[in-house]
């Protein structure tokens, strides 16, 4: 798995004289909007939805929290799950209260009331295949990497249906993309585009993306992986986040706003609220490097 860094090398040669520097810029600031960051799982742990407001681009601090809202999720048999504000922008549901949100195949509904406006969003809880194994291989140091252990996870996509996944990787419990949070590992069926990959084992670059190449595992580290099921709209959303958050250079695309899956109360796409509502099932595995 040296492809990515070898492509990088080519570009180093191609753009020997290229340079990047940080500059000061005055931007226009637009109207502030409500932002919904609702990534829920079927786990029995505390479930959290964060509400905030968009702000000027160079705010350089966390965007302001929103607390004065009503946040509910509805499950099978109209079961209501109430998310309670912690006063810091987080709305929390404890699955001890009315059970986890774990009805596979059911479409859950988010209902949100803010400043007399009501919004809804839907997310079906899709199944997720198990992680069969994690393989470990030692690699020597190379031009861009330290020596260390590189891991790969093996899982097989469900055949006969279009699936969407988000793969989260951790080193000793810390996300490997901590310094670069917009670098996400996403998969459609078992590949990037999903074409022809239905029912396949996850393809190589995805399978091996759970190691930080610049900082591979050493003896005593724990490599762990979480495989989350997504809805198509959420996959598209996250895919766009990775593009819009890293959109520079010769081959950048026109910057675009990311379309939310949150609707107004009559079920139409709206423009007031940003963000996304997602509900995922999770498979997990981890390995201690020996």
Partner 1 sequence: MKSIVTFFLLTLSLGLFSQSNSYSISGYVKSADTGEELIGASVIVKSKNTGVSANVYGFYSLSLPEGTYDVTYSFIGYKEVVKTIDLTKNVSINVELSETVNELEAVEVNAEGREKNIKSVEMSVNKIDAKTIKKIPALLGEADVIKSVLLLPGVSTVGEGSTGFNVRGGGIDQNLVLLDEAPVYNSSHLFGFFSVFNPDAVKNVKLIKGGIAPQYGGRLSSILDVRMKEGNKKEFTGTGGLGLIFSRLSIEGPINKDKTSFLVAGRRSYADVLAKPFLNDNLSGSSFYFYDLTAKVNHEINSKNRIFLSGYFGRDVFGSGFVFNWGNATATARWNHIFNDKLFMNLTGFYSDYDYAFGVEPDEGEEGDDFSWESSIVSYSIKPDFSYYVNNNNTIKFGGQSIYYNFKPAVASFASDGLSNDISLPDKYALENGLYIQNEQKIGSRLSILYGLRWSHFMYLGEGTKFTYRDTVPGIRRPLERKEDFNQFDKMASYNNFEPRLSLKYDLDEVSSIKASYNRMSQYLHLISNTVASTPVDLWLPTTNNIKPQLADQIAVGYFRNFDKNAYEASVEVYVKDFQNQIDYIDNADIFFNEQLAGDLLSGDGRAYGAEFFVKKNSGKLTGWISYTLAKSERKVEGINRGDWYPTRFDRLSNLSVVAAYELTKKWSFSANFVYSSGTPATFPTNRYEIQGIVVPHNVDQSRNNFRIPDYHRLDISATLTPESNIDRRWKGEWVFSVYNVYSRRNPFSIFFDQNQDNPVITEAIRFSVIGSFVPAVSYNFSF
Between residue 190 and residue 249, which ones bind partner 1 under the rule CB under 8 A? 190-191, 193, 195-197, 200-204, 207, 236, 239-241, 243-249
Q: Are strands 273-280 and 34-41 parallel, antiparallel or unpaired?
A: parallel
Q: With contacts defined by CB under 8 A, how many residues of the chain interact with partner 1? A: 86
Q: Report d(CA 283, CA 232) in Å as an integer.
A: 19
Give the list of residues 6+ apart from residue 274 with CB closer than 8 angstroms, or none. Answer: 33, 34, 35, 36, 54, 258, 260
Q: Of 133, 181, 218, 219, which one interacts with partner 1 (CB under 8 A)?
A: 181
Nearest approach in angstroms of CB 151 to partner 1 is: 14
Give the list of residues 6+ apart from residue 203 with CB closer than 8 angstroms, or none. Answer: 190, 191, 192, 197
Q: Of 41, 42, 47, 52, which one interacts with partner 1 (CB under 8 A)?
A: 52
Here's the x/- map for partner 1, 67-106, by CB under 8 A: it reads as ----------------------------------------
Q: Which stretch binds partner 1 (CB under 8 A): 4-12, 66-74, 92-100, 119-127?
A: 4-12
Q: Is 14 helix (H, G, I), strand (E, B) or coil?
A: helix
Q: Which stretch binds partner 1 (CB under 8 A): 18-26, 68-76, 101-109, 217-225?
A: 18-26
Q: Report d(CA 169, CA 166) in Å as an integer.
A: 10
> Distance of CA 211 to CAs 130, 153, 191, 224, Å?
19, 10, 18, 10
Q: Of 78, 96, 257, 266, which one interacts with partner 1 (CB under 8 A)?
A: 257
**Tokens representing residue 46 in the block:** 């505390």
Nearest approach in angstroms of CB 94 to partner 1 is: 21
Nearer to partner 1, 116 or 251 (CB): 251
Instruction: Say whether residue 32 binds partner 1 (CB under 8 A).
Output: yes
Residue whose token pair is 């997504």: 230
Q: Which stretch binds partner 1 (CB under 8 A): 59-67, 80-88, 102-110, 211-219?
A: 59-67
Nearest approach in angstroms of CB 32 to partner 1 is: 7
Q: Of 176, 209, 274, 287, which one interacts with partner 1 (CB under 8 A)?
A: 274
Looking at the DSSP bridge assignments, the partners of residue 139 are 148
DSSP 8-state symbol, 147: S
């Amino acid at each position: 798995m040296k492809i990515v860094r070898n492509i990088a090398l080519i570009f180093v040669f191609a753009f020997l004289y290229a340079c990047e520097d940080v500059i000061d810029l005055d931007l226009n600031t637009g109207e502030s909007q409500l932002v919904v960051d609702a990534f829920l799982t079927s786990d029995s742990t505390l479930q959290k939805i964060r509400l905030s407001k968009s702000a000027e681009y160079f705010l350089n601090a966390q965007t302001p929290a929103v607390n004065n809202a009503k946040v509910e999720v509805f499950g099978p048999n109209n079961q209501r799950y109430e998310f309670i504000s912690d006063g810091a922008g987080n709305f929390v549901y404890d699955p001890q209260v009315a059970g986890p949100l774990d009805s596979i195949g059911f479409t859950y509904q988010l209902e949100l009331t803010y400043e007399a406006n009501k919004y809804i969003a839907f997310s079906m809880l899709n199944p997720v295949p198990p992680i069969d194994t994690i393989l470990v291989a030692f690699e020597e140091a190379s031009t861009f990497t330290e020596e260390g252990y590189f891991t790969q996870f093996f899982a097989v996509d469900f055949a006969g249906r279009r699936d969407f996944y988000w793969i989260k990787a951790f080193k000793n419990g810390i996300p490997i993309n901590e310094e670069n949070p917009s670098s996400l590992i996403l998969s459609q069926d078992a590949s990037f585009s999903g074409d022809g990959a239905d029912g396949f084992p996850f393809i190589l670059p995805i399978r091996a993306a759970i190691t930080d190449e610049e900082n591979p595992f050493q003896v005593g580290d724990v490599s762990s992986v979480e495989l989350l099921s997504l809805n198509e709209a959420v996959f598209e959303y996250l895919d766009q986040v990775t593009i819009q958050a890293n959109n520079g250079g010769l081959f950048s695309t026109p910057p675009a706003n990311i379309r939310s899956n949150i609707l107004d109360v009559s079920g139409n796409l709206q423009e007031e609220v940003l963000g996304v509502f997602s509900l995922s099932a999770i498979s997990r595995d981890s390995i201690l490097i020996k």
